Structure 1
Amino acid sequence: MNMSYPTRSAAGIAVLPGRGEQEQIPPIRRYLRMLNRRKWVIAGTTFACIILGLVVTLLITPKYTAKTTLEISRESNNIAPVQGVERETGAADQEFYQTQYGLLRSRVLAERVATELKLVDDPKFYEMFGYTSQRPAFSVVGGRFTPGGRGDRLRVAGEVLLDHISVTPTRLSRLVDISFVSPDPIFSTRVVNAWTTNFIKVSLERRYQATSYARNFLETRLEQLRQRLETSERQLVGYASQQRLINLPAAQAAGGTQTVERSLVADDLASLNGALAQARATRIDAEAKLQQSGGGTAVEALRNDAINTLRARRAVVASDYQKLLVQFEPQYPAAQALKSQLDQIDRSIAREEQRVSGSIQGEYRQAVEREQLLEARVNGLKDSFLDQRRRAIQYNIYQREVDTNRQLYDGLLQRYKEIGIAGGVGINNVAVVDPADPPLKPSSPRLLLNLALALFAGLGLGAVIALLLEQADEAIADPDEMQRILGLPLLGAIPKLVDEEPRTAILDRKSSLVDAYLSVQANLQFTTEHGVPRSLAITSTRPAEGKSTTALALATVLARAQRRVVLVDGDMRSPSVHSLIGVSHENGLSNYLAGADLADTMLHHADKFGFAIMTSGPLPPNAAELLTSSRLQKLLGELLDRFDHVVIDSPPVMGLADAPLIASRVEGVIYAVESHGIRASLVATGINRLVSANAHIIGGVLTKFETRRSMSGYGYDYGYGYGRDDVHASGRLAG
């Protein structure tokens, strides 16, 4: 069988092999457990908030809300298809609506409503909304304000109205709700209706003012542009007359566009240049014909009908002539006649070909002469055109200025006409959908809503308080905190006893307390290579944490496992084992440490528990001096010779030197920690004292553990009462 040995943590505390850190608990379950432990704090906080919400609701003055609905169109309907001064908005243009919502909450509109309803000089209006001021403008004489300071009162009245008006757009629509809250339902209705009426008036006035300003501006600008246009035209005509620049009027192109003006020289140059190109093409063609006629039969001769007819006739006569020569001599009269015809035809063909060749040469000479004349004329026009171009630079500058001024003038004139039409035929784009009616019941306070808010606020505040209390609570609450916070391996969680004595629970083999300590014994089997340590000291940070009960219970379960066990009460300052067993402590540990021998005479046998006991003996003047001697080591040697296990109920660690002295001489130390009873910082200090004394701390036992107060989500709420009728016995903790 392989045996495992304990190791030590970074703090020097023994860690059981094979036991890792406690499994991490999901945060949601930790918080739920925390809320369950602090449920009365949360319940009390929630109840207080509900009572406070009820009282505040009953004390609040009822408020009445009047509401009206407006439809704001993106653009007004135009009778004439012209655009006004204001920019048209598209379907997705939310900028327009955001502007309208801002105008609905403008200070000018609020002050206009206050003036129309005569609220500026009404003291009851300011009293209704609880406004008080010591300024001279609000001095009341004879139930009325003083004449001075009306401007200040107007500003304050507008601010009061803006504080109680609300503008709520309806999503994905053109509708907007305007509501006003006040203690008087009739007054709320008057304000809302006056607000919508004045908003419509202000919109119309702003539209008219914008158009009127634009017309006045355009009139002034048109007059300036007209004068500039006349001046530029005079400059253009004067310069053209001085330089004798004559341009043809602009012509209309086929596509409807208007071309620029052209000068006479440019027009003549374009015409002659086209004629020159045609003459050059004619000359090239005549030259080609002439070259072809010089190399043989001209092509034109081959295409001549008269020559082709003569050649056909000659072919017939030549054929007849050859036939006669076959039969007769050339001197035959008929043959001579045919020969004479052939000669005559040849002379006719030669004359016709000479005539065609002369015609080609004549055409070539005419083409060359025409080309030369046109080329000379074009060269002359080029010089004239370049000279005119140089003189037309300033002319073009004047022309562009004239064109620019004319375009500006025409555009502004057209815009001026459109604004005049649009400003006179536009209609309002704001309409009242539902006018405000006096509300029949108050809109606030709302009792159920306030109570619901108070309930949620109480729950939230209670949860925050519970969380703060948990953060401030340093007590060890759960078994997993032994390892996570203290770095102390957990040997077991001991349930708290309710209405039952520890002695009775230990003697009951079926009690949950015995089951818990049996689990501790099982864990101790793995702490050393020989199982449960032979000498054990059980200590705690302070008294009443359950260390004596733990020592008694461990001795009992070891004895029931057929082990020889002796329980030594090592607390010589406040002994308790003798009272748990029911024996006298007149002769015990203090006697032996003081020098008395015969340890057998100091042992008592507890028949009901099955082990031997050595009580603390008489209380010595200074227990620490007795423990520093070698007598304690000698006693442990004698007892281990006779018993399998020696269990020592050690004094608490804090403030005493007894526990470190005892812990340094035993094989292992078990540290008892009270659940929800001591701060973790004190426990850590006590553990460090034992570590400094070279004590071997095996692990810790969490005593007086209550599952209902635990943050653990699993593992510890199973209980040790499985299979018994009293299932609630598992919730009891050792005292």
Structure 2
Amino acid sequence: MTKVEGLELESSGRDVEFYQTQYSLLSARTLAERVARQLKLAKSEAFFAAHGLDNGDGLLNSTDSLGTLSKKELDKREKLAVGFLLANVSISPIRGSALVDVSYTSSSPKISADISNTWTQQFIEQSMARRFASTADARKFLEGRLEELRMRLETSERDLVNYASAKDIVSLNRERDTDGKTTSERTLITAELEGLNKELADATADRIASESRLNAKANRELTPDPLIINGASAQLRQKRAELRAEMAKLMVQFEPEYPSVKVLAEEIRVLDDGIAKEEGRLTNREAARASNNRITDYRAALNRESGLTRRVNTLKKRFSQQQRDIIQYNIYLREVDNNRQLYDAILQRYKEIGVAGIGSNNVAIVDVANIPNSPSSPNLPFNLVLSLMLGLGLSVVVVVGLDQIEEGLRDPSQVNRLLHLPLLGGVPSIPPENIQEMMSDTKSVLSEAYFTVRSNLAFSTDHGVPRTFMVTSTRSAEGKSTSSTVLATILARTGKKVLLLDADMRSPSINGLFGLQNDRGLSNYLAGEDDWQNLLIPTTNDFVTILPAGPAPLVRQSY
């Protein structure tokens, strides 16, 4: 018998992969579609209303005058229902156990309970249907094999019957073993030969008995012929036998001359004479008739034996021919047995596969979903705590992010470490209204800071302060003009002539720091005026000359 295992072994329930697979199947789209069809959610206005969707939203169309929906609208509603189911169902495995909590969230308690219960029930039915469907290919294959084997079995049985009919082989009964193979088979000739052989043995025994009677000696005392013994003679013989037995007992203890022995001997002699006289009374006619009867019986037994012998010999010849025919007959018979065994085995396998997995399921509902008495959300305390935690977490993330994004330098020591450039010095931030006053004071904090910058510039090259250098910044209003003016003034104090060029064409301010006009300057030279010396403007400091930015060029805009 073939043993068919279930789709899922019992040992597989202990595997992590098995449980993960079941969790995925519990949240599969196919299961949601089964639930939607079972509860007819596509036609349930209450279901869509429980998820905040009604006809006024424009996503759902109303039914017609007959209360029916079109095929297109029904498909649309079914897709929406499946989407709502997948978005609101919750599959929560219980840690440390094989239990799973299935819950559903909506604004309707009854709909939520109905969907949860239907979800688990449909999962069980889907599991059983999956087990049955997994054997569909095997059943289809076995059906083809069964049909093929059935035809082969019919053909082999037909060949066996046709051959037996052609060779006059009549089968009376067959014996098969536990495997279905034919171990012995009785044919008509075999049964007939067995019967005649038994009759021949009986006839031979009768002939021998008749022959023995015919050839027996005439000693009636020792071997009397029953045909010539009448009733009186039989009684006398019986009495004589009793007396002889009694005398034999006495002879064990006494001699022949013992009186009792002598008396018994005389009685036996008298009985012998009586028996002889009684048998002598038979006429010669009766003796001849008895002899004729013995001869007739002997001849009848001999004829019967001869006839049976001839019939047995004839059957032996037929049996020998049949034995030669039985060889091919057994070939056909073995083919029939093999085809029948194959057909029975495949049929048994087909029956077992047809019921494999049906009725056996390792999934059961422990507790059904009840209609809740209170809503599961919103939970105000939980939401407040969650909002606080999220706010704190988001604040930390923003602070850390801004700190990572900020690329400014807060400490002068970061210049050399981050930019890999030497630091010339640090300049304090001075209000604009105090810059002129502090620039004129050589002992002010501003003058001291820029003097340090000038000294560092002097040590930056082997020939002292660079003959030409540029002051710039990453953005506006960072002190470019102030730094340029102060550095020029400090360099002039050392007796060096300084040409200060204002190249800030958008917002020129050098001329303002010296109290000069900006009607002519760098823009004129850039515009094509070659006499740049006429563009220079002396300042109150004899060692400082400036080249203002000049008037801003006009930009023609076309519309």
TM-score normalised by L of structure 2 = 0.46
Greater fraction strand: 1
Higher relative contact order (CA 8 A, sep 6+): 1
User: Highest CA radius of gyration, 1 or 2?
Assistant: 2
Greater fraction helix: 2
